[in-house]
Structure 1
Amino acid sequence: MAIEEALRAHPDDLTAWHAYSDRLLERGDARGTLIRLEQRLPRTRPADRPALEREIADLVAEHEDRWDDGLPGAARVRSRRYGFATEVAVTWSDDVREVVEQVLRAPFVTTLRLTSNAADDDDDDEEWEEDWDEEDEDGWDLAVDRGAPRPGRLDVRALAGLDLGRLTELDLSYLSVGFDGAEFLAGLFVSDRLRALDLRYCRVADTGLAALTARPQLAGLRRLHLQRNRLTADGVRSLHRLAELTELDLRYNDLGEAGARALLAAPFAGSLTRLWLYDSDVGEDGVRELAQAANLPPGLRSMWRCV
């Protein structure tokens, strides 16, 4: 539906939402009423707000159970707008492709998180640090057969044929994707809408990151989380293709002083609002250069530590 496509592209267009509410009301969907009520709320006098808020709460309580009828049971709704699911988490399973495909049919889902189990919605970084340190480092050998996933890796080829072009945010954190999985994943992005990508602890390494950043459709990324991916200065240099980055997480990587210099040479350096470099092994000279860099914004909230 054209109006749904327009709302996905411009989710803050209140006029379009009002027009969409007409269509919902015509087919007896209570979310049409919810849109009208929630749009009235900011214009309501403080004395009248409690009554309107109760009316909204009663409407949601009465109808919410039916609003997710089109979603698979394996999907967990994490965020809504006007009753419509906008952010969904899915646990990786043998039928993950079918589940995600069904999720992406929902009209306004633009944020997707894939997790290794249902309990991963609230991950504990410290616990993952301990698990990581105990794992066999052989999994990082890049001289492997690209034709099959390595033991312990998720076979992201299970997602083959999916169109992730509707997504504006994708979270794969704590999934063992691997560099070869990242290369495959890059091909699933067929539009330039993605603005946030979370790859913490995904083992993508420099090779996988280079494959992702080489994809023109990802050039518009604003937020990128790459904590603990065994990245080096080469990985940082591949980020130079992402000129619009404003938030970058490079914690727990092996950047070295060369990585710090590559970061300062990036086209997005002057636009960063958040930068995480804790435990990234940039060295004393790297810390000094970062601290004295004239092209980093004065208000940048950043963290680094010389190890």
Structure 2
Amino acid sequence: MEQRACAAGSVARNQLASEIRQLSQQHQDSWDAELPSEVTVEARRHGFATKVAVEWSDEAPKLIAEALRGRFVTALRIKTGDDPEGEEWGQEEEHWDENGPLMPPPIEANGLASLDLGRLVALDLSYFRIGDPGAEALAAATGSGRIETLDLRYCAIGDSGLVALTASPHFAAVRRLHLQCNAVTAEGVRSLGGFPNLTELDLRYNHIGEDGVDALLAAPFIGSLKRLLLYRDDVSEAGVRKLASAPQLPTTLRSYWRCV
């Protein structure tokens, strides 16, 4: 039916789109029946679940294994019971000091090592405070190297956790990496060469300094970046100057840093 919609005129396409919506609504419950009841559907395509969310617990690995048997599920979000809403979490004054974000104690997440991530193309752990031990457990999970989007915002990950992830072949295909508000320094940035296919990188609220900029400009993906999110305070004045004049950066990104 979708192929018919692509080939039809605008009136016919609208009619076919309406038929697709009606069929999706009619059969959605039966399609979702293959998923565990504890799983939340976060994204669909033509009514079929494509992204699911599971709340972390001792039972989570089992639930995730069952959810990933869904025929069209290729994206997973793992969250916690106190999962915050919106980008504002962590920005309040009490979460910060002069050295950057104050990291709460990590949540026990050794069970991540037991996961089979082989079907996934996107993995979202944003606001799940796994810390370095959890990142190291995640690096030990089973995978097939298909994951292209990895969201690790506010995960309390430092250099050792990031090094473990970049060394794992299961994450070698990552193209979009979100590391906002972790505890990454220049050492962690140097490990990002393990993600040679990066096109989008968010390193905001990580104090990487001038040394981190040097490491970033030496990375194999630097010329392919389409988005690079950093703040002046993350890289220092010297770092800003280097980014503004770096021939390795694509022209658009270099021009942006000239205006910062």
Normalised TM-score (structure 2): 0.89
Please report the RMSD computed on the Cα atoms of aligned residues, expressed in angstroms: 2.6
Q: Give the SS at the match of 1:192.
A: coil
The structure 1 residue matched to 2:21, chosen from 57, 62, 69, is: 57
Q: Give the SS at the match of 2:24.
A: helix
Please tell me whether Structure 1 or Structure 2 has the larger radius of gyration of its CA atoms.
1
Structure 2 equivalent of residue 7 of structure 1: none
Q: Give the SS at the match of 1:251.
A: coil
Aligned-pair CA distance for 1:301: 8.6
Structure 2 equivalent of residue 256 of structure 1: 209
| Mapped contact 1:252–1:279 kept (Cα < 8 A) | no
Matched, 1:245 2:198: yes
The structure 2 residue matched to 1:116, chosen from 80, 105, 129, is: 80
Q: Which amino acid aligns with 2:178?
A: H
| Mapped contact 2:106–2:156 kept (Cα < 8 A) | no
Q: Which amino acid aligns with 2:95?
A: D
Aligned-pair CA distance for 1:190: 2.8
Mapping 1:140-151, distance limit 5 Å: none
Q: Deviations over 1:117-166 (max 9, x none)?
A: 3865xx3222322287179x9x989xxxxxxxxx9432222334321121
Q: Give the SS at the match of 1:204.
A: coil
Structure 2 equivalent of residue 40 of structure 1: 4
Superposition misfits of 4+ residues, deviation over 3 angstroms:
117-120, 300-305
Structure 2 equivalent of residue 99 of structure 1: 63
Q: In 2, Cα distance between the equivalents of 1:47 and 1:193?
A: 38
Q: 1:103 to 1:303 in 2, by over 3 A?
A: farther
Matched, 1:126 2:88: yes
Greater RCO (Cα-Cα under 8 Å, separation 6 or more)? 2
Gaps of 5+ in 2: none
The structure 2 residue matched to 1:88, chosen from 38, 49, 52, is: 52
Structure 1 equivalent of residue 169 of structure 2: 216
Q: In 2, Cα distance between the equivalents of 1:259 and 1:152?
A: 25
Q: Which amino acid aligns with 2:164?
A: A
Matched, 1:227 2:171: no
Aligned-pair CA distance for 1:39: 2.1
Normalised TM-score (structure 1): 0.76
Q: Deviations over 1:8-60 (max 9, x none)?
A: xxxxxxxxxxxxxxxxxxxxxxxxxxxxx222111111122332222222222
Q: Give the SS at the match of 2:25.
A: helix
Q: Deviations over 1:258-297 (max 9, x none)?
A: 1111111111110100000125531111101101111101
| Mapped contact 1:169–1:197 kept (Cα < 8 A) | yes
Q: In 1, Cα distance between the equivalents of 2:18 and 2:144?
A: 41
Aligned-residue sequence identity (percent) comes to: 50
Q: 1:302 to 1:210 in 2, by over 3 A?
A: farther
Q: In 2, Cα distance between the equivalents of 1:217 and 1:291?
A: 34
Q: Deviations over 1:88-124 (max 9, x none)?
A: 111223321221111011122111011113865xx32
Aligned-pair CA distance for 1:232: 0.7
Q: In 2, Cα distance between the equivalents of 1:107 and 1:302?
A: 44
Structure 2 equivalent of residue 24 of structure 1: none
Q: 1:282 to 1:269 in 2, by over 3 A?
A: same
